[in-house]
Chain A
Amino acid sequence: MKKAVVWFTITTLTVFAVYVSTKMISFGSSYNGIANVIVNDTVGKTGAINAVTAIVFDFRGYDTLGESFVLFTAITAAAAVLRKPVHSIISKGKGGK
């Protein structure tokens, strides 16, 4: 039963993918969008030659800020999961008199 569902899903997705990729050639990226404005202003407003670095650090700086948050959270969470517990000595003498 589970194998039938899996194979049906995979076949449907593959057929849909091949059909979409033949229609997607004419989709592309338009010549009048935001990329024209950014590329025309790069050397004038920032002075950097690399257009991709100017986008990452100057025109869309908030996305880089959010990504540094994700990096920090992932490393802190990995350090919190892989912590070695310290065996406490207190639990040995409890309940006695």
Chain B
Amino acid sequence: MLLNYIGAFLLIVFGLYIILVKKNLIKIVVGMSLLDTGINLLLVSVGFRPGGTAPLFMNDLKPGSFFVDPVPQALTLTSIVIGACVTALALSLVIKVKEHYGTIDADKVRRLNG
């Protein structure tokens, strides 16, 4: 269980590093998506109970078995969809920036061009 938490925090720190350092606009969008993935993994890993099974009421459950927590799994569904929507909107903004400025270097698209 320690591995899940360390992996989630590493993904968050990697995503933050890419947003801070890189100059290409598409790489910044990739970093935003990586940040979303790390947060979703952290959210699902909180609801783990040792020895539990998947939360489905099937016909052949052994007596004395219990479920893992199903509430964080339901909240993560919403978070995944919102992450995909933010990525789609950011990519369409990058398309318009390329049309208008001719370059996608984050250092050169600084001035407002009427």
- A: residues with CB less than 8 A from B are 6, 9-10, 13-14, 17-18, 20-22, 24-25, 27-29, 31, 34-35, 38-39, 42-43, 49-52, 55-56, 60, 63-64, 66-67, 70-71, 74-75, 77-78, 81-82
Q: List 22 A-B contacts (CB under 8 A).
A: A9-B20, A10-B16, A13-B16, A14-B10, A14-B13, A17-B6, A21-B9, A28-B48, A29-B48, A29-B49, A29-B69, A43-B57, A52-B55, A55-B74, A56-B74, A63-B78, A67-B81, A70-B85, A71-B85, A77-B89, A81-B89, A81-B92
Complex contact B57–A70 (CB within 8 A): no
**Residue B37 at the A interface, CB < 8 A?**
no
Residues of B within 8 A of A82 (CB): 92, 95-96
